[in-house]
Structure 1
Amino acid sequence: MATVEVKERKTVSMAVDPSTVFETGKFEVTSITVKTGIFSASKPLFIFTPTNPGSYPVILFLHGFCCMGSFYSDLLNLIASHGYVIALPQLYVMPTTSEMQEIKSASEVIGWLPSGLDPLLPTNVKGDISKLSLVGHSRGGKTAFSLALGYGRPSLPFSAVIGIDPVAGTKCFQPEPHILNPISDPFNISAPITVIGTGLGPMSASPVTCPCAPKGFNHVAFFKKCKPTCAHFVTVDYGHMDILNDNPPGITGLFTNIACKNGKGPRELMRKCCSGLVIASLKAFVENDESFLNAIYVDPSIAPVDLNPVVLIYKATSSP
């Protein structure tokens, strides 16, 4: 019967500097804006893709509450430059929709990917749908976990699930689905999981605002329900919206800047850190190269911002 093993902090021997996951990758990247109805797309999309010919794993990225997809362009260009095709659907704009409708819309996009994605990509570039991962920020993180749990009946399996400061509600408002209840029951998710949290997410930006990632409904609660293989990283000095571009435009962008407690350090470092953790996780979980993720676990100081805690738990091999 399989058992759980906690990865020991052993020296990792690598031919490549592990800190390279936190920098721009080797692939040239282009971004594509897709309107609803193009190749039967059910939602507007932003696509970030390498231009170099090849087949690349696909990421479905799910935006956070009150966020426009364009607010994530700096982060997603970094990730795509390491050899990933990213589809980011704009699932709704303010005023918001229900979370169940958001999940349904995301599932429709998943059903569209096999036929709709490749025709939009550069010549000789293909998205490998057999290596499809879910990455979601904030409420989009909850949507990612919900899809992985089978809500919305997604038509494709997932190779990995990554939540960036996922949020499932507040003490006063807990919308369906109630995926954190009961907290003692682990998620029934077979894919490996990484949860990235923020140290400032549970703090209020002002005396009249609420925390954007409140205790009991944030990354800590999500990770408590994760089964191996899983990882947990917390960026101590940064806040819930610090993965966004520096100055998102418009009233919506202004709202994202003032609604949540922000870190004092440059957002560029937070974006580099989160992109690197996503890339290292996907290399381990999708491409079977654990060296980068292990190296970060062994020496978190290679990340551009402070990480604490750092947890990495692998599922042990089964024995008779």
Structure 2
Amino acid sequence: MALLQVKPSLSTAITTTRSVFETGKYEVKPISVDSGDLSIASPPPPKSLLVFTPLKEGTYPVLLFLHGFALYNSFYSKLLTHIASHGYISIAPQLYNPLLPTASGCDEINYAAEVTNWFSKGLQSLLPENITADLTKLALTGHSRGGKAAFALALGTYAKTSLSFSVLIGIDPVAGKSKDNQVEPKILTYKEESLNLGIPVMVVGTGLGDKKKNVLFCACAPKEVNHEEFFKECKPTKGHMVATNYGHMDMLNDDPSGIIGWFSEISCKNGSGSRELMRKCVGGIVVATLKAYLGSDTTDLKAIVDDPTIAPITLDSVVLDEA
């Protein structure tokens, strides 16, 4: 697979690419639906969902987002709104109760597959009547353990989906506590290019994810089970970008609520910069990747790779390895 060659002028590329880091042109409507709620969707989804959809009449690609371990999907509302404002229907299921995070890694993957299989049956019924979901352009992304679950779902070995994914984006994915203590199912092999996903992959990492917040907690994204290993093990086409001065939870909302929000604040090392800038950066990378692999427009993605300083925060280890 080769990227479409696009050669805009330098000034055009910079202007266009910086726009992916800002709010897009589409007004966005959030929709919340509980599992089993027939009043909003028919058939109802197998898991409660947060959906962020453009309001302008049209047909839009779909992004499935899997939340991190013991986190609420609502903690990502600002990030998902940013993505949706660029013309994507962003959907985040609540895979389990964060207050009772007893779901295994295998359960998590199966739940995500159930939601994916529901899309073709019930997604259209909960969208505004002038909005159509294009399920032939379906992206998969996830954060932390949800990132690992996204990789496992894309592999298709552990759960089957009736729909095919076109691109995978891992946001600081984590496979477990250590190389010898991976969350089941274990997908990392520690062999380069051993994960044959068959679709383009973008891995977004954090520079502080492998650092401890304090002596009470281990690092939230330890080396050997974090973004670096996921990138190494993917086959091209693959990309890698690292938010150097930010931590594992810094793409969440500024003020995640309740005891779960409080715990997310104290458990992982955070950067000293603005979370808004981090969300803009992660959102922009996601949008640029979606445009490249769902829309065959590589202008923004290639411009970021060619000049990472156009991002609103410092990016390091910026690589795009084309097949």
Contact 2:190 2:229 in 1 (8 A): no
Q: Kindly tell me: are residues 220 and 122 of structure 1, through their superposed partners in 2, closer, same or farther at Cα, counting changes over 3 Å?
A: same
Contact 2:175 2:226 in 1 (8 A): yes
Residues 141-167 of structure 1: CA deviation (Å, up to 9, x unaligned): 001100110021122111100000000
2:150 corresponds, among 144, 166, 172, to 144
CA displacement at 1:10 relative to structure 2 = 10
Amino acid at match of 1:18: T
Distance in 2 (CA, whole Å) between partners of 1:18 and 1:248 is 29
Instruction: Note the 1:112-261 alignment, pairs <5 A.
Output: 112-150=118-156, 151-171=158-178, 173-261=181-269
2:88 is aligned with 1:81 = no
Amino acid at match of 1:37: G
Task: Say which SS state the counterpart of residue 311 (structure 1) adopts.
Answer: strand
Distance in 2 (CA, whole Å) between partners of 1:226 and 1:87 is 25
Partner of 2:28: 29
CA displacement at 1:17 relative to structure 2 = 2.5
Contact 2:190 2:233 in 1 (8 A): no
TM-score scaled by length of structure 2 = 0.93
Contact 1:12 1:294 in 2 (8 A): no
Q: Kindly tell me: are residues 11 and 306 of structure 1, through their superposed partners in 2, closer, same or farther at Cα, counting changes over 3 Å?
A: farther
Partner of 1:56: 60
Distance in 2 (CA, whole Å) between partners of 1:194 and 1:158 is 13
Partner of 1:294: 302
Distance in 1 (CA, whole Å) between partners of 2:73 and 2:197 is 26
Distance in 1 (CA, whole Å) between partners of 2:79 and 2:112 is 20
TM-score scaled by length of structure 1 = 0.94
Contact 1:10 1:298 in 2 (8 A): no
Partner of 2:49: 45
Task: Say which SS state the counterpart of residue 143 (structure 1) adopts.
Answer: helix
Amino acid at match of 2:269: K
Partner of 1:18: 17
Amino acid at match of 1:35: D
Task: Say which SS state the counterpart of residue 55 (structure 1) adopts.
Answer: strand
Distance in 2 (CA, whole Å) between partners of 1:13 and 1:230 is 26
What is the aligned-residue identity percentage? Answer: 52
Residues 30-69 of structure 1: CA deviation (Å, up to 9, x unaligned): 1000111132211000000001100000000000011101
Gaps of 5+ in 2: none
CA displacement at 1:13 relative to structure 2 = 6.6
Distance in 1 (CA, whole Å) between partners of 2:238 and 2:196 is 13
Residues 155-211 of structure 1: CA deviation (Å, up to 9, x unaligned): 211110000000000126322111102433521111100000000000000012100
Partner of 1:105: 111
Partner of 1:285: 293
Residues 94-147 of structure 1: CA deviation (Å, up to 9, x unaligned): 321101001001000001001211111112101100000101000010011001
Distance in 2 (CA, whole Å) between partners of 1:232 and 1:185 is 14
Distance in 2 (CA, whole Å) between partners of 1:258 and 1:31 is 29
Partner of 1:318: none
Amino acid at match of 2:277: L
Distance in 2 (CA, whole Å) between partners of 1:194 and 1:276 is 12
CA displacement at 1:220 relative to structure 2 = 0.1
Contact 1:11 1:298 in 2 (8 A): no
Partner of 2:277: 269
Task: Say which SS state the counterpart of residue 117 (structure 1) adopts.
Answer: helix
Aligned residues: 311
- Show structure 1 runs of 4+ deviating over 4 A: 9-13
Distance in 2 (CA, whole Å) between partners of 1:13 and 1:285 is 23
The CA RMSD over aligned residues, in Å, is 1.8
Amino acid at match of 2:50: F
Partner of 2:75: 71
Partner of 2:97: 93
Distance in 2 (CA, whole Å) between partners of 1:201 and 1:51 is 36
Contact 2:193 2:235 in 1 (8 A): no
Amino acid at match of 2:233: K
